[in-house]
Amino acid sequence: MKVSNPRWTADPAGHGAEPGGRGPMFLGALLFLLVAGIFLPAVSHDFITYDDPVYVTENAHVKGGLTWANVEWAFHSTEASNWHPLTWLSHMADCQVFGLHPWGHHLTSVLLHATNAVLLFAALRLMTGALWRSLLVAALFGLHPLHVESVAWVSERKDVLSTIFWMLVLWAYARRAQVARARGRSAPVFYGLALLFFALGLMCKPMLVTLPCVLLLLDYWPLRRWEATSAAARWALLAEKIPFFALSAAASAVTLLAQGSGGAVSSTEDFPWPVRVANALIAYCRYLGRCFVPAKLAVFYPFFPEQPPLWEPLLAGALLAGVTAAAVALTRRRPYLLVGWLWFAGTLMPVIGLVQIGGQSMADRYTYVPLIGVFIMAAWAAGDATASWPHRRRVRSLGAGAVLVVLAAMTTRQLSFWKDGASLFRHALAVTENNWVAHANLFATMSKSSAPGAGAELQETVRILAAFAENYDKRGIELERTPGGSLEAIKDFRTAVRIMPDLAGPHYNLGTALAGIPGGLPEAIEEFRTAARLRPDFVGAHYNLGIALARLPGGMPEAIEEFRTAARLKPGFAEAHYNLGLALSGIPGRTGEAVEQFEAALRDKPDLVQAREMIERLRAVPR
């Protein structure tokens, strides 16, 4: 006997004919090919200097692939100020298969994004029964230029990967509601799957913490589970979300600890509360504006911790309040408006800047999931508005097609800026003002290729935001390379350490500069220790700490351990083996170990004459 459920299909009027059979599968496949095809040019793109070294190109654990040691590291690491083990495993898998060839890493992200679009289509169709509107929402999601950053930036793998699990949660939750209505016995299975997918998604990116609230919204519309008459049934809807909220709370706590320990959370001294609230209100409106007019998109939007003119946050607040009031007023007739609006506003809340992470005022990648709420509002409102029009199917098809063609063209253009670091950061400078991050990364990009003018980019970076620690660090490196510039370099390194004490790089650079001046060795050792503590896999910190300790009376035993660590972290590091051999050769009874280290150094670097001479010298000594 077929179970009838008139509430399952939301807004049944005005959808047009719904193809049955394999029609939805064909449309899903077509959607996948369309989205993947538009983003496929990313496969020819390069890595960039902004975060890609931390996540892939200079991360020893990631480059090492899927070994047991690296997998264990992924589940314990808070590097990059986040705990996201599945994201690390994803990058490791790419390195295992593709090495450091960027095309493979980009291909994975493109396929994940196209899959997200198909899963969104499937989940919305399952919840609403509205095939064409669900398809439109998924196509808008898949082709929107604001999502280029999440797909084309290898470091943002956590966006596309975590959203796979977001969509799977929606699908499993909708299936559970469907089965429960039909009084099927498999409802607990789908509930368990939803909870499992949610946990896995949180292990990719903590932005999923708002998903339990989205599930409550979906209970209201389109699942209409809030229409239960008894208070006990409504309390049950809340009670079933408790495990989800518990996971969200745990993920939020871990994230705050990871970001706090990594120095990513800005203090209220740097970003006072009035500035944060004002920026949050303005950012909401800017996100909406870029949703409908996706122009002047940049990899980084600078945040200057100054109070904007009062009229800007007031006007933004009034606009947001007006949209909220309209959505509430239309709830009975158009429930999707309130659900879509709260989806947008709520899922943006963790990254809107009230807890300021980094120096950006907003970021395109933050819209990856939130804009789905706006797309739902637009697709369903357009469908209802044209429900009584003659030739409405043709009008809808032409209108939707025109919008998607424009978005695809804009996405293609935006994608072209991501082909390499120089194009990306020059574009950011063209569409933003005082963008110190773009200048700094353009400097790094130009320095790698020895392009002329790199120094000017660095000076511009320092001019825009002189207090930015990494800029002092980079300027110190340049000064250290110039004759007589060591003392000035040390001043810049000290400034960088004072501003951002949890960055390993400035401590290391300060240590190398101090080790080269008279009387600087004891302080250099402490700086190397700090760098090694902040970043345990920092090979240079361990190696130079060993060199410095070997020069210190009584420091040889600890120097030996540091050389061993450096040799373990970097296979083929001949100098580490050589210096370890030198340290061991001065200890009675350890000549054999010393010879083994010199031989290891020669295997890695056959022209290391000093190692060969040490072997001959040690073997010539009678035992």
* Residue in this structure with the two tokens 């040799």, named with its chain if needed: 567
The per-residue pLDDT for 388 is: 86
Distance (Å, whole) CA 221 – CA 239:
18
- Residue 215's nearest CA partner among 277, 286, 167 is 167
Q: Is residue 477 domain-resident? A: no
> Is residue 505 a part of any domain in this protein?
no
Least confident of 1-10, 153-162, 180-189, 544-553: 1-10
E strand or H helix at 361 = strand 360-362
pLDDT(17) > 70: no
Tally of domains in the chain: 1
Is residue 109 a contact partner of residue 151, using CB atoms and an 8 Å limit? yes
Residue 401 forms part of a structural domain: no
Q: Is the pLDDT of residue 10 over 50?
A: no
Rounded Cα gap, residues 559 and 582, in angstroms: 11
Phi, psi of 360 (to 5 degrees): -90, 150
Q: Within a domain: residue 288?
A: yes
d(CA 120, CA 170): 8
Find the range with the poorest average confidence among 45-54, 91-100, 346-355, 458-467.
458-467
User: Is residue 233's pLDDT more than 70?
Assistant: yes
pLDDT digits (tens, 9 = 90+) for 583-619: 888 888 788 888 888 888 888 888 888 888 888 888 7
Q: What are phi and psi of 268, to 5 degrees?
A: -70, -15
The one-letter code for the residue type at 85 is: P
The helix/strand/coil state of 360 is strand
The whole-number average pLDDT for the span 254-282 is 76
Q: Is-contact 126 178, C-beta < 8 A? A: yes
Host domain of residue 291: 266-385
Cα(190)–Cα(174) distance, integer angstroms: 9
Among all chains, which residue has been given the structure tokens 């030739």?
Answer: 391
What pLDDT is attached to residue 623?
57
64 within a domain of the structure (yes/no): no
Q: Across residues 270-295, what is the average pLDDT? A: 90
Can you give the pLDDT at residue 268?
59
Q: Six-digit token pair at 30?
A: 């077509």
Q: Is residue 330 part of a domain?
A: yes
Residues contacting residue 47 through CB under 8 Å, at least 6 positions apart? 53, 56, 57, 100, 102, 105, 154
CB 81 within 8 A of CB 63: no
Residues 496-531: pLDDT tens digits? 887 667 778 889 999 999 988 888 899 999 999 999
The pLDDT value recorded for residue 5 is: 38
Average pLDDT rounded to a whole number, residues 549-561: 88
Across the range 422-451, mean pLDDT stands at 90
> What is the reported pLDDT for 139?
98
* Other beta carbons less than 10 A from residue 534's beta carbon: 19
pTM above 0.85, yes or no: no
Q: Collapsing DSSP states into helix, strand and coil, what is residue 362?
A: strand
| Residue among 114, 170, 163, 165 at smallest CA distance from 142 | 114
587: number of Cβ within 10 Å: 13
Asked whether the beta carbons of 297 and 414 are under 8 A apart, the reply is yes
The answer as to whether 129 is a domain residue is no
Domain contains 341:
yes
How high is the mean pLDDT of the chain? 89
Cα–Cα distances in angstroms (integers) from residue 564 to residues 536, 537, 560, 597, in the given order: 13, 13, 6, 10
Give the per-residue pLDDT at 465. 56
Cis, peptide link before residue 390, omega less than 30° from 0: no
The encoded tokens of residue 586 equal 């001065």
CB atoms < 10 A from the CB of 509, how many? Answer: 26
DSSP 259-324: HHHTT-BPPTTTS-HHHHHHHHHHHHHHHHHHHHS--S--S-EE---SPPPTHHHHHHHHHHHHHH
The residue to which tokens 């708002």 are assigned: 210
